[in-house]
Structure 1
Amino acid sequence: MTGSPATLLRRAVSPGRHEGSPRTVLLVMCAGYFLVLLDVTVVNVALPAIGAGLGTDIGGLQWVVDGYALALAALMLTSGTAGDLYGHRRVVLAGLVVFGAGSLACGLAPDVAVLTAARVVQGVGAALLLPGTLAIISRAFPDGSARARAIGVWAGIGSLALPAGPLLGGALTEAFGWRAIFLLNVPIVLVALVWSAAIVRESREEQARRLDVPGVLLGSLLLLATTYAFIEGGRAGATAPQVLAAAGLAVLAVPALAVAELRRGDDAMLPLPLLRRPAFDAANVVAGIMNMGTLGTLFVLMLFLQSVQDRSALLAGAAVIPLFAPLAVIAPFGGRITSRIGSRLPAAAGLLVATAGLALLVLAAPHSPYLVLLPAFLLWGIGMGFLTPAVVAAAISAVPPERSGLASAMNNTARQTGGAIGIAVAGAVAGQPGDETRFVRGFHAVALGAAGLYAAAAVLALLVLPGALGPGGEK
């Protein structure tokens, strides 16, 4: 595609025509989705290098990871509504611009404060991209069976981002330094932006909800205050004035958010009628616990592999491939099982298998050989492979078909929220990697805590999640 910068800009903001084939649209949207999920895991392997390069402690590293997760969690629900109102093409293009600008700022950040702020910008761009890519794909494939296959490709590409993140992050950090993991995004985003501007047709909903600005602000305040309380509690102690103030603010934000959402009615970011469905609530609680345990433990695990066991970034990234590869391979198979027998048993089985894997991490010691860690990684990853499609299916099947998109977005928000809080808690429990003895004890406590949460979630899944579905989707 050729033209002056002004011409390209006009194409990007104009309504556009659907000049590309559906397969081309699918390819470009998958590229954006891949980048969003890649940045969930690619940073973890570079954390020791970031800490050394910018002179920050574990609290600063927690903010680097959580800045992205918090923005993604806070804006996920609203960005879908923004696409309905203003056009999914415009929102996706805006998301690419914001994500690319955030990536560039991350790569050039002179200190951890700037890096954290840039990660928040990245998270805003990711939140704009994630629901919009799926909406555009759905409209590019009007035939139901073709749409289902396209969404399967979209989900499969996303699954590949999880094992690719640690390996790619380790290779880039080892070869070019930690800044390369962010700067690599910039040319990819530019290509996706220009290509999307040329081939994607604009679309919006005729009966779109209004944006819930009070809900977004209060929800963001709740997430930020909760995360701050955990991270600063690990640094300054649970009774520090700033920690108590943040915890009090989080407590006050809960009823304020509930009142604001009640007043918004059908335009609420969190539609309260959906939250009165036990199966829907249980699916979201399990989803939050899933990411809380996984991302929290992963945060500490990557520091353990590098700072305690002295692995390079590349070797640490390669070491966790057995954790993420089963998720990418088993998730489609787990989805087929869930469609036949319901979510209850696959979710409970996945949680229990992952519980065993997390519990085995207590065997990890500073000089443990890799074969001690491998069974833990495999069991953990296999369990996640069965669990992930089951909790998403449970959330969607618990609501009317016309609310399935919102149900999926709320389930994703629960996962991102759980992940952000899990990282904050795990870092506070583990402490600084420099104190090796305390850090290893903290790592074991994080793993056992995650295993306990998973076991409790398995009980919840068995009691509340739906079993096999009969004709017409009835239990």
Structure 2
Amino acid sequence: MTGTPATLLRRAVSPARHEGSPRTVLLVMCTGYFLVLLDVTIVNVALPAIGSGLDADVGGLQWVVDGYALALAALMLTSGTVGDLYGHRRVVLYGLVVFGVGSLACGVAPDLPVLVAARVLQGVGAALLLPGTLAVISRAFPDRAARARAIGLWAGIGSLALPVGPLLGGALVDGLGWRAIFLLNVPIVLVALVWAAAIVPESSQAQSRRLDLPGVLLGSLVLLATTYAFIEGGRSGAATSQVLTAVILAVLAVPALVVAELRRGDDAMLPPTLLRRPAFDAANVVAGIMNMGTLGTLFVLMLFLQSVQDRSALLAGAAVIPLFAPLVVIAPFGGRITSRIGSRLPAAAGLLVAAAGLALLVLAAPHSPYPVMLSAFLLWGTGMGLLTPAVVAAAIAAVPAERAGLASAMNNTARQTGGAIGIAVAGAIAGQPTDAKSFVRGFHVVALGAAGLYATGAVLALLLLPGALRPGGGKRREQRASV
């Protein structure tokens, strides 16, 4: 292929020459999901090296992680709607391009502000990419039970990035430096882009809905102001007036967002008709709790393993493999369970098992042996493996099929919003790892807080998430919810 970059991109997003089978489409969409998750775990294991290389404190490192998460959370709903209107295949392909450019910019960033800006660009690409992958899968598998199993495989294959990320990231950081973790994405993006362009069919809905720019702007303001308040408020010497201003902006933006969304009705970024469905609301709240506890605790955990227990990046990455490996094995199994008995029991069980693992992290001390944490990692990861496919399937099953893109985007937005806030809160509680004694106390508080959140989520799941997916049951639930 020859021509300008714009010409090549137009050729890439032209209709697929050979439509792939549902299983092949599932596999290529899992590659996109793999990229998003790989970036999360690789970045966490590289945080101490980034801090040393760019002279960044914990607050700066929080922005490295949250710059990505905030862009992802703020734009995912919009990209889900764009995919519903103009085609999820096209949005996925553009997402791969933006993600690849952002990864390259991260790899060559000369200082912390440039790195954070490049991470935001990565987040924009991920926001275009992630909801589209799940929407394409939902259309490739119209049967509810088959869709639930496919979502389980999507979660399992994508979750391979979770154990691979720390180990591969640790090896790259120790061998080539932290920049290699971002540059690694570039060839993967190129392969995925060519593959998706060749086999993924286009899909869009003939609708006259418009993009909700006021909703996007106000929602982004709420997320940014809230995250800024937590991150900067936790920094020693932070300007109190700036933090207070961020809090005021967040408080004022919330009712403004509610009013704006009510005025736009079904054209809203957060459609009121969907938010009046209790099962859908519960699935999104549980998804937010899941990432708030997991990503917040993981952020502090990786600093603990390297800065307090003095492990290398490679050894720290190897240490958390028992946390992520159960996701790969259990998530497909969890998808099959969900297809048979519904989301309620798998989600509640996953939350409670993960809560037990998180609570055990209070036994971790600066000189404690690794087996002390091993049981905590295994329980935590096992719970996540049960929970992830259940909560995603619950969100999609709670809405009509034509809103699949928006439903998946809202569920992922809830997860990323929870993760961004969780990282901000966890970093503010733990403080600087240079004060080991204080940092370990904060680490224990973060772990216990996450366990409490998970237990609360389990109660919510038992009360509101759907049970068995019986033939026609989903349709009846949708009819009752819309009355």
Q: Normalising by the residue count of structure 1, what TM-score does the alignment of the two structures yield? A: 0.93
Deviates more, 1:162-171 or 1:109-118: 162-171
Superposition pairs of residues 59-458 of structure 1, within 5 angstroms: 59-137=59-137, 153-207=153-207, 209-236=209-236, 240-458=240-458
Q: Offset of 1:4 from its aligned partner?
A: 4.3
Over 3 Å counting, the alpha-carbon distance change for 1:261 and 1:449 in structure 2 is: same
Deviates more, 1:59-68 or 1:379-388: 379-388
Q: Offset of 1:353 from its aligned partner?
A: 1.4
Secondary structure, in 3 states, of the residue corresponding to 1:467? coil
Q: Offset of 1:449 from its aligned partner?
A: 0.9
Q: Offset of 1:5 from its aligned partner?
A: 4.6
Q: Offset of 1:154 from its aligned partner?
A: 3.4
Contact between 1:45 and 1:170, CA under 8 Å: does it hold in 2? yes
Q: Offset of 1:284 from its aligned partner?
A: 1.5
Letter of the structure 2 residue corresponding to residue 191 of structure 1:
V
Aligned sequence identity (%): 84
What is the alpha-carbon distance in structure 2 between the residues aligned to residue 218 and residue 439 of structure 1?
35
What is the alpha-carbon distance in structure 1 between the residues aligned to residue 20 and residue 333 of structure 2?
29
Contact between 2:152 and 2:389, CA under 8 Å: does it hold in 1? no
Over 3 Å counting, the alpha-carbon distance change for 1:276 and 1:17 in structure 2 is: closer
Secondary structure, in 3 states, of the residue corresponding to 1:466? coil
Contact between 1:238 and 1:244, CA under 8 Å: does it hold in 2? no
Q: Offset of 1:209 from its aligned partner?
A: 2.5
What is the alpha-carbon distance in structure 1 between the residues aligned to residue 75 and residue 450 of structure 2?
26
What is the alpha-carbon distance in structure 2 between the residues aligned to residue 66 and residue 296 of structure 1?
11
Over 3 Å counting, the alpha-carbon distance change for 1:148 and 1:232 in structure 2 is: closer
What is the alpha-carbon distance in structure 1 between the residues aligned to residue 364 and residue 283 of structure 2?
32
Give aligned pairs, total.
Answer: 473
What is the alpha-carbon distance in structure 1 between the residues aligned to residue 137 and residue 340 of structure 2?
26
Secondary structure, in 3 states, of the residue corresponding to 1:59? helix
Q: Offset of 1:412 from its aligned partner?
A: 1.4
What is the alpha-carbon distance in structure 2 between the residues aligned to residue 280 and residue 316 of structure 1?
37
Partner of 2:17: 18
Letter of the structure 2 residue corresponding to residue 282 of structure 1:
A
Deviates more, 1:408-417 or 1:223-232: 408-417
Q: Offset of 1:205 from its aligned partner?
A: 2.1
What is the alpha-carbon distance in structure 1 between the residues aligned to residue 382 and residue 425 of structure 2?
24
What is the alpha-carbon distance in structure 1 between the residues aligned to residue 389 and residue 138 of structure 2?
19
Contact between 2:171 and 2:313, CA under 8 Å: does it hold in 1? yes
Deviates more, 1:300-309 or 1:159-168: 159-168
Contact between 2:38 and 2:164, CA under 8 Å: does it hold in 1? yes
Q: Offset of 1:180 from its aligned partner?
A: 0.3
Deviates more, 1:460-469 or 1:88-97: 460-469
Over 3 Å counting, the alpha-carbon distance change for 1:142 and 1:419 in structure 2 is: closer
Contact between 1:89 and 1:202, CA under 8 Å: does it hold in 2? yes
What is the alpha-carbon distance in structure 2 between the residues aligned to residue 46 and residue 326 of structure 1?
22
Structure 1 gaps, min length 5: none
Please list the CA deviations of residues 125-168 of structure 1 after superposition, one character each: whole Å capped at 9, or x if unmatched. 01111122344455667899987776554333212122222122
Contact between 2:340 and 2:469, CA under 8 Å: does it hold in 1? yes
What is the alpha-carbon distance in structure 1 between the residues aligned to residue 469 and residue 231 of structure 2?
43
Contact between 1:51 and 1:57, CA under 8 Å: does it hold in 2? yes
Letter of the structure 1 residue corresponding to residue 38 of structure 2:
L
Contact between 1:279 and 1:398, CA under 8 Å: does it hold in 2? yes
Q: Normalising by the residue count of structure 2, what TM-score does the alignment of the two structures yield? A: 0.91
Deviates more, 1:183-192 or 1:219-228: 183-192
Contact between 1:11 and 1:198, CA under 8 Å: does it hold in 2? no
Contact between 2:346 and 2:390, CA under 8 Å: does it hold in 1? yes
Secondary structure, in 3 states, of the residue corresponding to 2:209? coil
What is the alpha-carbon distance in structure 2 between the residues aligned to residue 237 and residue 275 of structure 1?
41
Q: Offset of 1:391 from its aligned partner?
A: 1.9
Superposition pairs of residues 34-73 of structure 1, within 5 angstroms: 34-73=34-73
Deviates more, 1:390-399 or 1:220-229: 390-399
What is the alpha-carbon distance in structure 2 between the residues aligned to residue 26 and residue 466 of structure 1?
25
Secondary structure, in 3 states, of the residue corresponding to 2:182? helix
Deviates more, 1:418-427 or 1:30-39: 30-39
Contact between 1:84 and 1:208, CA under 8 Å: does it hold in 2? no
